[in-house]
Amino acid sequence: MNIDEIIKENLIKIRKSKKLTQEDLSRFLGINRAVISYYENGERTVPVKDLEKYARFFGVDMDDLLEENKESFNYNLAFAYRASTLAESDILKIEGFKLIFEDYCRLNHLSKKHEKQTFRAC
Protein backbone atom coordinates (compact mmCIF):
# COMPACT_ATOMS: atom_id res chain seq x y z
CA MET A 1 0.00 0.00 0.00
CA ASN A 2 1.44 3.40 -0.92
CA ILE A 3 1.51 6.37 1.45
CA ASP A 4 -1.53 8.10 -0.12
CA GLU A 5 -3.63 4.96 0.40
CA ILE A 6 -2.44 4.64 4.00
CA ILE A 7 -3.34 8.27 4.73
CA LYS A 8 -6.72 7.87 3.03
CA GLU A 9 -7.59 4.82 5.13
CA ASN A 10 -6.48 6.49 8.36
CA LEU A 11 -8.43 9.68 7.67
CA ILE A 12 -11.60 7.67 7.09
CA LYS A 13 -10.98 5.49 10.15
CA ILE A 14 -10.32 8.38 12.51
CA ARG A 15 -13.31 10.41 11.27
CA LYS A 16 -15.70 7.48 11.56
CA SER A 17 -14.35 6.52 14.98
CA LYS A 18 -15.60 9.88 16.23
CA LYS A 19 -18.91 9.49 14.36
CA LEU A 20 -18.33 12.64 12.33
CA THR A 21 -19.61 13.25 8.84
CA GLN A 22 -17.48 14.82 6.15
CA GLU A 23 -19.65 17.92 6.56
CA ASP A 24 -18.90 18.06 10.31
CA LEU A 25 -15.20 17.73 9.65
CA SER A 26 -15.38 20.40 6.96
CA ARG A 27 -16.78 22.91 9.46
CA PHE A 28 -14.29 22.04 12.20
CA LEU A 29 -11.18 22.01 9.99
CA GLY A 30 -12.10 24.78 7.56
CA ILE A 31 -11.58 22.43 4.61
CA ASN A 32 -14.20 22.23 1.87
CA ARG A 33 -16.34 19.07 2.18
CA ALA A 34 -15.66 18.16 -1.45
CA VAL A 35 -11.91 18.31 -0.77
CA ILE A 36 -12.32 16.00 2.24
CA SER A 37 -14.20 13.62 -0.05
CA TYR A 38 -11.36 13.79 -2.60
CA TYR A 39 -8.86 12.92 0.15
CA GLU A 40 -10.95 9.99 1.41
CA ASN A 41 -11.53 8.66 -2.11
CA GLY A 42 -7.84 8.93 -2.96
CA GLU A 43 -8.49 11.46 -5.71
CA ARG A 44 -6.10 14.04 -4.22
CA THR A 45 -2.94 13.89 -2.17
CA VAL A 46 -3.42 15.45 1.27
CA PRO A 47 -1.07 18.42 1.74
CA VAL A 48 0.94 18.60 4.96
CA LYS A 49 -0.99 21.66 6.17
CA ASP A 50 -4.24 19.67 6.06
CA LEU A 51 -2.63 16.63 7.71
CA GLU A 52 -1.58 18.98 10.52
CA LYS A 53 -5.19 20.19 10.85
CA TYR A 54 -6.45 16.60 11.13
CA ALA A 55 -3.78 15.68 13.68
CA ARG A 56 -4.41 18.76 15.84
CA PHE A 57 -8.17 18.35 15.73
CA PHE A 58 -8.13 14.66 16.64
CA GLY A 59 -5.30 15.02 19.15
CA VAL A 60 -2.98 12.53 17.45
CA ASP A 61 0.57 12.75 16.18
CA MET A 62 0.90 13.36 12.47
CA ASP A 63 3.01 10.18 12.31
CA ASP A 64 -0.09 8.21 13.36
CA LEU A 65 -1.82 9.30 10.16
CA LEU A 66 1.06 7.87 8.11
CA GLU A 67 1.21 4.48 9.84
CA GLU A 68 -0.08 1.47 7.92
CA ASN A 69 -2.72 -0.79 9.52
CA LYS A 70 -3.26 1.62 12.38
CA GLU A 71 -5.88 -0.12 14.53
CA SER A 72 -6.25 2.54 17.18
CA PHE A 73 -5.08 6.07 17.67
CA ASN A 74 -3.53 7.45 20.82
CA TYR A 75 -5.94 10.29 21.50
CA ASN A 76 -4.15 12.86 23.59
CA LEU A 77 -7.37 14.70 24.32
CA ALA A 78 -9.90 12.09 23.26
CA PHE A 79 -12.04 12.80 26.30
CA ALA A 80 -12.82 16.19 24.83
CA TYR A 81 -14.68 14.61 21.93
CA ARG A 82 -16.53 11.84 23.80
CA ALA A 83 -19.47 13.85 25.02
CA SER A 84 -22.34 13.63 22.57
CA THR A 85 -23.72 16.93 23.85
CA LEU A 86 -20.80 19.07 22.73
CA ALA A 87 -21.83 21.85 20.41
CA GLU A 88 -19.71 22.92 17.46
CA SER A 89 -18.70 26.06 19.37
CA ASP A 90 -17.48 23.89 22.28
CA ILE A 91 -15.31 21.79 19.98
CA LEU A 92 -13.84 24.92 18.38
CA LYS A 93 -13.04 26.35 21.84
CA ILE A 94 -11.36 23.10 22.84
CA GLU A 95 -9.31 23.18 19.63
CA GLY A 96 -8.27 26.78 20.39
CA PHE A 97 -7.22 25.81 23.89
CA LYS A 98 -5.23 22.86 22.55
CA LEU A 99 -3.31 25.18 20.21
CA ILE A 100 -2.52 27.59 23.07
CA PHE A 101 -1.38 24.70 25.26
CA GLU A 102 0.82 23.24 22.50
CA ASP A 103 2.43 26.65 21.95
CA TYR A 104 3.03 26.98 25.69
CA CYS A 105 4.70 23.56 25.78
CA ARG A 106 6.94 24.44 22.83
CA LEU A 107 7.96 27.76 24.42
CA ASN A 108 8.61 26.06 27.75
CA HIS A 109 10.81 23.47 26.02
CA LEU A 110 12.72 26.19 24.14
CA SER A 111 13.17 28.17 27.35
CA LYS A 112 14.65 25.18 29.17
CA LYS A 113 16.89 24.43 26.20
CA HIS A 114 18.09 28.07 26.17
CA GLU A 115 18.80 27.97 29.94
CA LYS A 116 20.99 24.89 29.52
CA GLN A 117 22.96 26.54 26.72
CA THR A 118 23.40 29.74 28.77
CA PHE A 119 24.77 27.87 31.78
CA ARG A 120 27.23 25.95 29.61
CA ALA A 121 28.61 29.21 28.21
CA CYS A 122 29.43 30.60 31.68
Residue-wise pLDDT tens digits, 51-83: 999 988 888 888 888 888 766 665 444 444 455
* More confident of the two residues 90 and 25: 25
pTM for the model stands at 0.61
Tell me the CATH number at 42: 1.10.260.40
Range(s) of the domain holding residue 110: 3-121
DSSP 2-16: -HHHHHHHHHHHHHH
Count of structural domains within the chain:
1
